[in-house]
Amino acid sequence: MFEAWKKHLKRGGGKKEEILAPVEGLAVPLSEVKDPAFSQEILGKGMAIIPSKGRIVAPVSGVLSVMFETMHAVSITADNGAEVMIHVGLDTVQLKGEGFQSFKKQGERVKEGELLLKFDLEGIKAKGYDLVTPVIILNTMEYPNMKSHVGKQIMELEPIIEL
Amino acid sequence: MKEYRYVVDDPMGLHARPASVIFIEAGKYMCSIEADWNLQKADCKSLLAIMGLGAKKGDEVIFRFEGEDEDAAYYAIRSVLDKK
């Protein structure tokens, strides 16, 4: 109880927090992602973006807590405690990093809007991969009132999730 | 305390999918479940922590179970890891 209250205060007490779009594209609900790990919210709640540009920027300021060697997914632990995972495409782990380029290392501090990854949108698509990019809050349990903005075209750094 | 030594066999290491399998199973038990690799420790009840380990194919990860239901958790985690 006390811990929950402290967390609440740390998050600025009741103030809405926003997660910004890490990539430009079409915002869709997770239920439309053709991978049950995402559509059934096994990894957490969130939304997805069908990218129209091959670059991923930091959706919040914090620490780059995961940068997979294969560069197909990253996760940022925001200064407010939210764990945001960005998974570029489905089954793209199989590309073993081909078509991806990273600009930050695991453990580094990142600022909102800083470039994290570039990827070859057309090349990866041509290989038959679905590039839909889920943006997931891994510690979903801490955010029972989370809301996502989907069903529209979004620009980089437009608010997509309210915690 | 129980311990299980697991050699990662997924060619891509502990990426999102295998990590989520461990995370989901770990969440069903009360005992603490920790994965150690390369001087790092991950709480298996945090998906982020498991993925952050960065364990790759062939790496030996030591799972440690401590608490009342550690036996049940040990067998459950073993069975999901060995199934893969």
**A60, A79 in Cβ contact below 8 A?**
yes
Q: Count CB atoms within 10 A of the CB of residue A153.
A: 12
CB contact under 8 A, A73 and B46: no
> What is this model's ipTM?
0.86
Residue A114 neighbours by CB distance under 10 Å: 14
A83 vs B16: CB contact, 8 Å cut-off?
no
Q: Per-residue pLDDT for chain A (163 aa), expressed as one digit of tens each?
A: 566 666 655 555 555 689 999 999 999 999 999 999 999 999 999 999 999 999 999 999 999 999 999 999 999 999 999 999 999 999 999 999 999 999 999 999 999 999 999 999 999 999 999 999 999 999 999 999 999 999 999 999 999 999 9
What is the pLDDT at residue A8? 58
How far, in Å, CA of B82 to CA of B55, rounded?
Answer: 16
pLDDT at position A163, please?
94
As a whole number of Å, the end-to-end CA separation of chain A is 19
Determine, for residues B15 and A87 on separate chains, whether the beta-carbon distance falls below 8 Å: no
* DSSP state letters, B73-84: HHHHHHHHHHH-
Q: What are phi and psi of A60, to 5 degrees?
A: -155, 165
B10–chain A Cβ distance below 8 A for any pair: no
The confidence score (pLDDT) of residue A53 equals 97
Structure tokens at A83: 């764990």
One-letter amino acid of A13? G
Any A CB within 8 A of B48 CB: yes
Model pTM score = 0.89
Q: Which of B67, B11, B83, B58 is nearest to B34 (CA)?
A: B67
Query: Residues B58-83: pLDDT tens digits?
Result: 999 999 999 999 999 999 999 999 87
Is A40 an interface residue toward B (CB < 8 Å)? no
Q: What is the pLDDT of residues B40-62, one digit of tens each?
A: 999 999 999 999 999 999 999 99
Mention every residue, 6+ apart, whose C-beta is less than 8 A from residue A98.
none
Q: Are A78 and A60 in contact, with CB atoms under 8 Å apart?
A: yes
